[in-house]
């Protein structure tokens, strides 16, 4: 675990030799887990593949970091969703940031840093048009998978566009120290809200206080989240950013003020089938609440402006985050599974080069 608070002017250094590669290793889905159970490393396999030279219009990329994300759990099952399921025997995919090591595409040069959806592998060839160049001098490359990437954008649109948070309001955030949650908390403080954050464990709670969260609930120490939220917000909450579902959502419904807004971002407590649903949803009628689910991919048009704003905040030392980095492609399944036990502290990444 590593505190990666950026200092103004701190230059990211990731020396990667721009050497063409002849082979790569990739993680494939070996078998589907039980829908109601935590997956195991045996559901994955690691395979070596040959890497030919890139063709016309293609570039060869060596991945520096790949992201593991909670939504990938749903893709392990064969069911319809907003992203297709992973296929048995095929390499998984997901966000990654890498360095161009060969280019047959005019728009990208050797040494450029690019974002792709070709994580879960060490290297790949892809059309240059499918890649997105990022400024590795402005931020460390892995930040484009976290605070300045999809988790950061998720936090931003959920808070600004869905919840429309206003100064003076009280916001409750679950999984508050995580990749999404920590950005939600800090942007909400910038907007003048009072923030109540829930996370598991003392270290995560301490971090939340350091980034300005007003009230911290350690739900592992205080399992009655409803009682704890009542103590933290005697007058109730105006808004809830849900990353967890289950008991956290029940607590938010119980303590929501009339006409409060609830942004349903994720429900990680139920991704492996442990939670039994939300028992007090009828509060939404009685209190005239607005519950709105959202998916970050519907908001990609916001990305360029968001990255500019977030880069300025990070460079000014105004946004902090944590990340947990596992080393090597063979660790990728273990890194992914940490998301569901809370062993990750902040953005969970796998360093590949």
Ligand X SMILES: NC(=O)c1ccc[n+]([C@@H]2O[C@H](COP(=O)([O-])OP(=O)(O)OC[C@H]3O[C@@H](n4cnc5c(N)ncnc54)[C@H](OP(=O)(O)O)[C@@H]3O)[C@@H](O)[C@H]2O)c1
Say whether residue 1 binds ligand X (CB under 6 A). Answer: no
Least CB distance to ligand X at residue 189 (A):
18
Q: Any idea what the Cα angle at residue 311 is, between residues 265 and 135, rounded to 5°?
A: 110
Say whether residue 342 binds ligand X (CB under 6 A). Answer: yes
In this chain, which stretch among 9-17, 44-52, 186-194, 197-205 interacts with ligand X, using CB under 6 A?
A: 197-205
> What's the rounded Cα separation, in Å, for the pair 146 and 138?
14
Supply 282's token pair.
């009828």
Say whether residue 243 binds ligand X (CB under 6 A). Answer: yes
Q: Give yes or no for a contact between 46 and 25, defined as CB atoms under 8 angstroms apart.
A: yes
Least CB distance to ligand X at residue 178 (A):
2
Q: Give yes or no for a contact between 241 and 313, defined as CB atoms under 8 angstroms apart.
A: no
Judged by CB, which is closer to ligand X: 116, or 344?
344
- Locate the DSSP E strands across 77-147: 96-103, 113-116, 123-127, 132-134
Q: Any idea what the Cα angle at residue 161 is, between residues 159 and 163, rounded to 5°?
A: 50
- Pick the binder of ligand X from 12, 85, 127, 200 (CB under 6 A): 200
**Ramachandran quadrant class, 204 (left: phi over 0; alpha: psi -120 to 50; beta: rest):** alpha
- Using alpha carbons, select from 342, 336, 340, 337 the residue that is nearest to residue 350: 336
Supply 25's token pair.
């290793």
Say whether residue 251 binds ligand X (CB under 6 A). Answer: no
Least CB distance to ligand X at residue 70 (A):
4
Say whether residue 269 binds ligand X (CB under 6 A). Answer: yes
Judged by CB, which is closer to ligand X: 103, or 116?
116
Number of residues this chain uses to bind ligand X (CB under 6 A):
29
Residue 25 β-bridge partners: 48
> What's the rounded Cα separation, in Å, for the pair 105 and 107?
6
Judged by CB, which is closer to ligand X: 168, or 273?
273
Taking residues 112 to 141 in sequence order and writing x for each that binds ligand X by CB under 6 A, - otherwise, the string is ------------------------------
Say whether residue 179 binds ligand X (CB under 6 A). Answer: yes
Judged by CB, which is closer to ligand X: 69, or 142?
69
Residues that bind ligand X (CB under 6 A): 69-71, 151, 154, 175, 177-181, 199-201, 204, 243-244, 265-266, 268-269, 294-296, 339-340, 342, 344, 347
């Amino acid at each position: 675990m590593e505190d990666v608070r950026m200092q103004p002017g701190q230059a990211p250094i990731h020396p990667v030799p721009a050497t063409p590669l002849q082979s790569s290793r990739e993680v494939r889905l070996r078998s589907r887990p039980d829908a109601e159970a935590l997956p195991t490393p045996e559901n994955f396999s690691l395979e070596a593949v040959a890497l030919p030279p890139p063709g016309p219009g293609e570039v060869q990329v060596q991945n520096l970091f790949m992201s593991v994300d909670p939504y990938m759990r749903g893709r392990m099952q064969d069911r319809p969703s907003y992203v297709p399921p992973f296929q048995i025997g095929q390499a998984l995919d997901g966000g990654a940031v890498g360095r161009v090591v060969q280019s047959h595409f005019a728009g990208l040069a050797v040494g450029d840093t690019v974002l792709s959806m070709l994580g879960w592998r060490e290297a790949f060839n892809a059309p240059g048009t499918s890649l997105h160049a990022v400024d590795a001098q402005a931020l460390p490359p892995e930040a484009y998978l976290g605070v300045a990437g999809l988790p950061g954008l998720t936090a931003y649109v959920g808070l600004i566009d869905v919840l429309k948070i206003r100064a003076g309001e009280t916001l409750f955030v679950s999984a508050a120290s995580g990749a999404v949650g920590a950005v939600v908390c800090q942007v909400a403080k910038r907007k003048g809200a009072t923030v109540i954050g829930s996370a598991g464990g003392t270290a995560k709670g301490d971090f939340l206080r350091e980034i300005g969260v007003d009230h911290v609930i350690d739900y592992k120490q205080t399992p009655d989240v409803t009682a704890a939220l009542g103590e933290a917000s005697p007058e109730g909450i105006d808004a809830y950013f849900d990353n967890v579902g289950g008991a956290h959502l029940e607590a938010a419904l119980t303590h929501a003020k009339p006409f409060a807004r609830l942004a349903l971002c994720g429900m990680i407590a139920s991704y492996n089938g442990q939670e039994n649903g939300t028992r007090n949803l009828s509060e939404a009628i009685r209190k005239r609440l607005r519950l709105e689910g959202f998916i970050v991919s519907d908001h990609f048009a916001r990305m360029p402006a968001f990255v500019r704003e977030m880069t300025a905040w990070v460079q000014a030392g105004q946004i902090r985050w944590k990340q947990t980095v596992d080393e090597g492609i063979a660790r990728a399944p273990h890194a992914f599974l940490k998301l569901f036990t809370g062993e990750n502290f902040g953005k969970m990444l796998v360093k590949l080069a």
